[in-house]
Amino acid sequence: MESIEPLGFESKIYELESKIKELEKLSDGDTLDLSEEIRKLESKLEELRAQTYQNISAWEITQIARHPQRPYTLDYIKAIFDDFVEMHGGRQFEDDHAIVGGMARLNGEPVVVIGHEKGRGTEEKIFRNFGMPHPEGYRKALRLMQFANKFYRPLVLFIDTPGAYPGKGAEERGQGEAIARNIFEMSFLKCPIIAIVIGEGGSGGAVALGVGDRVLMLENSIYSVISPEGCASILWKDVSKSDLAAKALKLTSKDLLDLKVVDQVIGEPIGGAHRDPEATFESVKSAIEKNLKEVMKVDPEERVAERFAKYSRMGVFVEEA
């Protein structure tokens, strides 16, 4: 794999890592033994990592969630499922490349997979519209969800979007309605639904793929009503206050677990999923297997009722007697 781009707050860690690597190279022969030196640096590295990642801020997590080398939906599909057959036809305006989906097999069992796809590299990012769908993308997703429901196949959804695209065509074709319709339909789908936030859960654009029997979240992903930048520019009138907004919004996986909006947090390798994608794929796969197994035990009618009850409980208010 190509070298990893460090984020601003990680630069010291990466410096130390490359220094250790250099020393290891030098130390290869018998003539020069630097093992003592390396051990020292490694323990320093350990300390530094602990310092950096144990006290990581919401804003730093946001940057990891958006890391350009973070695994995307198609990476997960390729690594976790077999025989993926992509279905492009939303039967609408046009194919929306910001959402991918189709039939696949999980350990041999047929499922339907759908997710936002951000695209890797400039050219593909543009092709994927940076993972920001238009209404026809959500309508394609809905068609695939109904397809899954019709043929009794479980649904696995990957969430990774900055948000629904705020553009002219999107408004003209009913962006709001497309998102609303997905929520409406998903709440009564009889097939099991597992949704996983793998990177950015950007507001309504994420919810449109996010009504599930189980909603899981990768440790360094975020899920929020608005981006920290959007929130900072509206409430602080200053986009440079995004770090404060990120903290205030409570958008990390830990926050969401505490708020009972997600059911499980999937741990990531230290530093983030991009530091060890293979290990991340393994963890995500076993989380899907475990949750799917549990929800598939439940009778479909009961499953729908439980899903409805779960979302009915969401929200915090005071009720006067």
Partner 1 sequence: MGWFTTKIKGLPEVATKCPACEEVVFNKDLVKNLYVCSHCGKHLRMPTAMRVEALCDENSFEEFGSGILPSDPLSFSDSRPYAERVEKAQEKTQSEEAILTGVGSIQGNKVVLGFFDFAFMGGSMGSVVGEKIARAARKSQELHLPLIIFSASGGARMHEGILSLMQMVKTGQAIAQLSKSHIPFVSVLCDPTTGGVTASFAMLGDIIIAEPKALIGFAGPRVIEQTIHETLPEGFQTSEFLLEKGVIDMIVPRQDMRETLAKILSFFKGKDGSYHGIH
- Residues at the interface with partner 1 (CB under 8 A): 164-168, 170-177, 179-181, 183-185, 187-188, 203-204, 207-208, 210-211, 223-226, 230-231, 234-236, 244-245, 248-251, 255-256, 259, 261, 308, 311-312, 314-321
DSSP 2: P
Query: How wide is the angle at C-alpha 203 spanned by C-alphas 173 and 120, nearest 5°?
Result: 85
Nearer to partner 1, 45 or 231 (CB): 231
Nearer to partner 1, 31 or 91 (CB): 91
Least distance (Å) between residue 69 CB and partner 1: 25
Nearer to partner 1, 95 or 229 (CB): 229
Tokens found for residue 196 = 């996983």
Tokens found for residue 118 = 């951000």
Least distance (Å) between residue 272 CB and partner 1: 21
CA distance 152 to 189: 10
Least distance (Å) between residue 172 CB and partner 1: 5
Nearer to partner 1, 183 or 296 (CB): 183
CA distance 64 to 279: 16
Amino acid identity at 282 = E
Least distance (Å) between residue 220 CB and partner 1: 16
Nearer to partner 1, 90 or 210 (CB): 210
Nearer to partner 1, 164 or 288 (CB): 164
CA distance 23 to 32: 10
| Helix axes 58-65 and 242-249, enclosed angle (nearest 10) | 90
* Residues in Cβ contact with 70 at an 8 Å cutoff, skipping those fewer than 6 apart: 64, 198, 199, 272, 273, 274
Least distance (Å) between residue 205 CB and partner 1: 9
Least distance (Å) between residue 314 CB and partner 1: 4
**CA 252 vs CA 192, 218, 241, 249: distances in Å:** 25, 9, 17, 9
Tokens found for residue 30 = 């018998």
